[in-house]
Amino acid sequence: MAERSFVEEVKKLRLGAGEVFSGEGILAVTKALLESGVSYVAGYQGAPISHLMDVLADAQDILSDHGIRFENSASEATAAATLAASVNYPLRGAVTFKATVGTNVASDALANLASGGVLGGALIIVGEDYGEGSSIMQERSHAFAMKSQMWLLDPRPNLPCIVQAVKDGFDLSEASSTPVMLQLRIRACHVHGQFVASDNKRASFTIKQALARPQRDVNRIVLPPASFMHEKEKIEQRWPAAVRFIKERQLNEFFSEHDDDVGLVVQGGSYNTLIRALNKLGLADVYGESKVPLYVMNVAYPLIDDEFERFCQGKRAILVLEEGQPNFVEQNVADILRRLQSPTVLHGKDLLPLAGEYNTATMLAGVKAFLQRYGKVEADPKERKVIPLQPVSAEASAELAANVHARPPGFCTGCPERPIFTAMKLVERELGPHHVTADIGCHLFSILPPFNIGATTMGYGLGAASAAAFNTPGAKRAISVMGDGGFWHNGLTSGIANAVFNRSDNLTIVVDNSYTSATGGQDILSSTALNPTRSTGHAIEKAVRGVGVEWVHRVQRTYDLKTMMATLREALTTKETGPKVLIAQSECMLNKQRREKPQVRKAVAAGERVVRERFGVDPDTCTGDHSCIRLSGCPSLTIKPNPDPLRTDPIAAVQDSCVGCGLCGEVSHAAVLCPSFYRAEIITNPTRMDKFRKRLSGLVIGWLQGRDARRREQLAF
């Protein structure tokens, strides 16, 4: 069950021609896929295209209406390999994954796919951004497009353009027998907007037809001599075909082309930002009417030489606004202009920073510098045109900086992964620190305070693999952490099986919370949920034993700190050789709450006895040391001013958002902290027995408490 339900929004996918679609960018992409007549869609979740996968999962009835096969791929490589269906058959297919991290994993399949080429349109939708929304912000799928010679689209970030890019992408792919990548920036995926829908299209050729009459063509297989031919094909046929198509369909756009003798070149994805920068310079209005000639590349790769020749015609200089390093586009443009012996001067990274996101302020500075150099704007702009950025005194900004802390993401309230790291911290006190390799997933938040655990993260599912070198007789064992998502993504083979084969002695902790929680709580093989369209319930333990691990321990309730610590201690000290695998199981609390809350509400309404648990801290016994917070970090465990007039340190406090996971109590027991924690059980609809007991004990307790209170009252002042 995914974090967000799109059941309501999915209805928009049935809109017909002429109706107005209003919603998020990623939903519009899904609609565009249906309008393009795809036969299959696959992908691996990850922000921002997680939502696309979730939309598809919630839209399975629509997909089956249209005979579309939808796959939750095991990895990006699986997703990319799925596109093999378009090699021999006129089947349109799309796959989706997150950013360069996904492209990296998929690159083997993508290289082979691009080599043989496709018959049916093959679209790779990559949720990718440069900067804030990216996981490895300096890397770009652009490089993969270049090396494998796939075409890369980067449309302007508004819904009509994005939808059109999907459709153009399929046509371009078919026209040039080449897979096409569609890069969607994170804010574009989540942008709210509108477009006029078309009717959904059913593919004329079906998967069933393909299976009924299998086709093969040895020339499409990447093996000599065919592979030599592919290289030639790419250069001699597919590339020219793509260039022709891009020109004819006018995928790239020219604005105010002849309005001046300087011009700006930008990728579609950065267009809105550029327009805002020009707007601030007084050179464009809010409708995009620009005084400066613009060449907008909705196709980021390949570059179209003719179009550059056309744009540079009569221009003294152009500025290429390209995020990232190396500056692939700028280098390519330099090459084009040089061959043309064009007198137009090329600017780019000489006027803009080499690294970092090109936000509006950065673009503004770069464009202004460019225009000033050619006398297009005054060297010293008038007061009102200056960005009203107040020069803040160093002292003031330092004072503010000291009082504004970074707020990185962390474990949720009641997260079952937190106790694993608490246990590691506590065991560390006994056995000393160990080398810990981390993985990708929620558990990676352990590298941040308060846990500060984990030395490297090499990639999704590679936690165990990245401890491979740390095997030496008689040395302390290295610890690897891996989530269930990473485990099934590739951790089982690259980490566990590899450790078995190479006789590793290390410990791998597999965090099994029943979902790929970091990407939004999707189901995977080992999920315990009953999923009507997927096969779940395949235990990680069976897989681990299946590849030959002997030492496998399972902790079925991670909140049980004592067992967690004992198992860790055992794993790190046992004389037994060979890889150790500790499977730490507890359901993701976000999902659990989402699952249980409606049930509880129903039970309460039906008058059933329901017990809610939550923790609390007694302010008069808490001394404000905050050990509990350092060992937990739960968002609902916080601090508040000390009500004691004699004390100054803030005390710990539990917010009402507490879900009563029990860790606070376990920690105070295991670490011998303090007696301040209490667990309250709040009983709704108490039974007769409950009421009777309460009355009985209340009589005695109330009498004693009343007596004591009166005594204290006597001495009060």
Q: Rule CB under 8 A: say whether 709 interacts with another protein.
A: yes
Considering beta carbons, is residue 97 or 470 the nearer one to another protein?
Answer: 97
Candidates 272-280, 539-547, 548-556, 564-572; binding stretch for another protein (CB under 8 A): 272-280
Q: Rule CB under 8 A: say whether 231 interacts with another protein.
A: no
Distance CA 581, CA 512 (A): 12
Distance CA 121, CA 587 (A): 40
What would the x/- binding string for another protein be over residues 250 to 269, using CB under 8 A?
Answer: ----------x---------
Distance CA 387, CA 354 (A): 22
> How many residues appear in the chain?
717
Considering beta carbons, is residue 328 or 445 the nearer one to another protein?
Answer: 445
Q: Which of residues 318-337 bind another protein (CB under 8 A)?
A: none
Whole-number minimum distance, CB 98 to another protein, in Å?
10
Q: Using an 8 Å Cβ cutoff, are 357 and 386 in contact?
A: no
Q: Rounded to an integer, what is the distance from CA 652 to the centroid of its chain? A: 33
What would the x/- binding string for another protein be over residues 369 to 388, using CB under 8 A?
Answer: --x----xx---------xx
Q: Rule CB under 8 A: say whether 535 interacts with another protein.
A: no
Q: Rule CB under 8 A: say whether 8 interacts with another protein.
A: no
Q: Which of residues 154-193 bind another protein (CB under 8 A)?
A: 157-158, 160, 185-188, 190-193
Token digits of residue 400: 């503010």
Whole-number minimum distance, CB 653 to another protein, in Å?
9
Whole-number minimum distance, CB 251 to another protein, in Å?
18
Phi, psi (rounded to 5 degrees) for 505: -115, 10
In DSSP terms, 553 is beta-bridged to: 582
Question: Which DSSP letter does residue 198 get?
Answer: -
Distance CA 110, CA 150 (A): 9
Q: Which of residues 587-626 bind another protein (CB under 8 A)?
A: 614, 616, 618, 620-621, 623-626
Q: How far is CA 19 from CA 60, 195, 306, 434, in A?
A: 22, 9, 38, 60
Considering beta carbons, is residue 7 or 700 the nearer one to another protein?
Answer: 700
Q: Which of residues 92-151 bind another protein (CB under 8 A)?
A: 132-133
Distance CA 606, CA 589 (A): 25
Strands 637-640 and 20-24, bridge-based pairing:
unpaired
Q: Rule CB under 8 A: say whether 669 interacts with another protein.
A: yes
Q: Rule CB under 8 A: say whether 648 interacts with another protein.
A: yes
Count helices and strands in the chain by DSSP H and E runs = 27, 24
| Residue in 65, 231, 236, 285 binding another protein, rule: CB under 8 A | 285
Q: Which of residues 451-510 bind another protein (CB under 8 A)?
A: none
Q: Rule CB under 8 A: say whether 689 interacts with another protein.
A: no
Q: Using an 8 Å Cβ cutoff, are 54 and 82 in contact?
A: no
Q: Rule CB under 8 A: say whether 67 interacts with another protein.
A: no
Place of tokens 């009252």: 713
Whole-number minimum distance, CB 399 to another protein, in Å?
6
Strands 551-555 and 610-617, bridge-based pairing:
unpaired
Place of tokens 């951004």: 129
Q: Rule CB under 8 A: say whether 356 interacts with another protein.
A: no
Considering beta carbons, is residue 354 or 387 the nearer one to another protein?
Answer: 387
Whole-number minimum distance, CB 13 to another protein, in Å?
20
Q: Rule CB under 8 A: say whether 408 interacts with another protein.
A: yes
**CA dihedral angle for residue 396, residue 401, residue 404, residue 405, rounded to 10 degrees:** -170
Question: Which DSSP letter does residue 663 get?
Answer: H
Q: Which of residues 30-59 bind another protein (CB under 8 A)?
A: 47-48, 50
Whole-number minimum distance, CB 110 to another protein, in Å?
25
Whole-number minimum distance, CB 711 to another protein, in Å?
11
Whole-number minimum distance, CB 19 to another protein, in Å?
16
Distance CA 263, CA 247 (A): 20
Candidates 102-110, 279-287, 466-474, 576-584; binding stretch for another protein (CB under 8 A): 279-287
Q: Rule CB under 8 A: say whether 393 interacts with another protein.
A: no
Phi, psi (rounded to 5 degrees) for 187: -70, -30
Place of tokens 């290295």: 478
Token digits of residue 600: 């509880």
Candidates 111-119, 232-240, 245-253, 393-401; binding stretch for another protein (CB under 8 A): 393-401
Among 700, 682, 442, residue whose Cα is nearest residue 586 = 442
Whole-number minimum distance, CB 517 to another protein, in Å?
9
Q: Using an 8 Å Cβ cutoff, are 512 and 557 in contact?
A: no
Whole-number minimum distance, CB 690 to another protein, in Å?
6
